[in-house]
Structure 1
């Protein structure tokens, strides 16, 4: 049995500091949480950055650079996965839905990956979804996804294809068939988000059935489904993900004090089911990545 690769999603874009005092905000805090998560068993870390003064989501290149530099200097084998999700939201104006309202973050596709091109992490997320998200709309058109994919490939970075619904998987297959993306691909199923795939064993199995042969995949869920998704993904042959991006609770009513606590619980789940977590070196071999993330 191959070891299971655990990715820790350190901060995310939507978790708020007022929800938990344990959310890392500064680049140093994000890097330290990443290193502690690795000590607990994470082979990969998925990073967003925040404005250190406000805690609000940020796309500032310098903030990414500081966090990445600390991780690379202390643990060069740890797989770094940077987000490209921010910059895709559109909020229709109240009086004219054609005009962007407050909360819109929509950016040109290449502006969303400037930090990836500059820092060249091992992996970066690549969202394939266009969907409702509350009163907002997330927009990722095939044309813009292709532009981002081309620049990501040129930077020597592996895209992690984040799929929120079945149509995202269909689009991924089309982009692979067209040569826009390299197959068979590295996929993540995002479950439990409003108006996307709900979390259930049937949803995970259905998403898996749409993958290209030989694809690597992880299924993860948000909120109260985060740990059931760890077990379900492992049982169906996938990798796993946890982190304060996905849930702030270690158990019902108990805030996780760190990402490392979430990783430790997920590790216990995997080991209780008969598996074991991969080291970063094993994960690099499985995902065909260079031996370290030093660039």
Structure 2
């Protein structure tokens, strides 16, 4: 599985290629799927470019995307989009158009309540477990663990020299992950090293302008599709094969 992460919470001025409007996200998603992406993760944006959980923002974004792609489409529920846990729950409860899945960062306040509501509403949950947080320990204790769609193992170490080691440590902390599949990815300078590790371990992974603005050779990426094509061109191997010393293969 190769997920494309279209935009993230990056500032609108960060890249001219960053899709912000529903129409731009839909075009970008269609191009990325044509390049080989099999799943979409998006941050719906308000007219001023801020991440939003409002149904008035979410609905037109999902409708535009689904008019262009047939692969699953997921959204964020990050606390930065709605810091108050009770208000975040109210937002999710008010959604009139539902995504196929939504990421829930397990270290954030109110994560389990948001995840439980999403599951109740029939939305798949990506359990976001970030390196450098207590998310892995919380997820290991969670009764919701066996019910999530997958684990989203996010390596927040942006240093190319250390991101792979951080990824291995994160996978070890996540452990058996309640038997759920794991998607491993990095960000910024760690995006490509972690993606290569995920491919070698046979894990699902993702790429897109949310995670990096650059191609593997350091050149700026012109689009999400270009990033997906570059990821597809990297070598990989089946999930049944494991590198010596790696414990993250599922």
TM over 0.5: yes
Q: Which residue of 2 aligns with 1:122?
A: 100
Matched, 1:153 2:153: no
The verdict on how the C-alpha distance between 1:188 and 1:263 changes in structure 2, with shifts beyond 3 A counting, is same
Indicate if the aligned counterparts of 2:52 and 2:58 stay in contact, CA closer than 8 A: no
Correspondence list, 1:205-224, <5 A: 205-209=168-172, 210-212=175-177, 214-224=179-189
Q: Which residue of 1 aligns with 2:90?
A: 111
Indicate if the aligned counterparts of 2:202 and 2:238 stay in contact, CA closer than 8 A: no
Distance 1:9 1:202 in 2: 23
SS at match of 1:57: coil
Q: 2:8 aligns with which of 7, 12, 33?
A: 12
* CA deviations over 1:229-282 (Å, ceiling 9, x no partner): 11101212311111111111124552211100000000001xx33569xxxxxx
TM-score, length basis structure 2: 0.83
- Alpha-carbon shift at residue 65 of structure 1 (Å): 1.2
- Alpha-carbon shift at residue 107 of structure 1 (Å): 4.6
Q: Which moved more, 1:217-226 or 1:182-191?
A: 182-191
Structure 1 stretches lacking a partner, 5+ long:
90-104, 130-139, 277-295
Matched, 1:83 2:76: yes
Distance 1:223 1:123 in 2: 24
Distance 1:57 1:122 in 2: 18
Distance 1:35 1:260 in 2: 9
Aligned CA RMSD, in angstroms, stands at 2.5
Q: Which residue of 1 aligns with 2:223?
A: 258
- Alpha-carbon shift at residue 189 of structure 1 (Å): 1.3
Choose between structure 1 and 2 for higher RCO, CA contacts under 8 A separated by at least 6 residues.
Answer: 1
Structure 2 stretches lacking a partner, 5+ long:
240-250
Q: Which has the larger radius of gyration?
A: 1
TM-score, length basis structure 1: 0.71
Structure 1 segments of 4 or more deviating over 4 A? none
Number of matched residues? 233
Matched, 1:225 2:190: yes
The verdict on how the C-alpha distance between 1:86 and 1:31 changes in structure 2, with shifts beyond 3 A counting, is farther
The verdict on how the C-alpha distance between 1:258 and 1:114 changes in structure 2, with shifts beyond 3 A counting, is farther
Indicate if the aligned counterparts of 1:124 and 1:159 stay in contact, CA closer than 8 A: yes
Q: Which residue of 2 aligns with 1:59?
A: 53
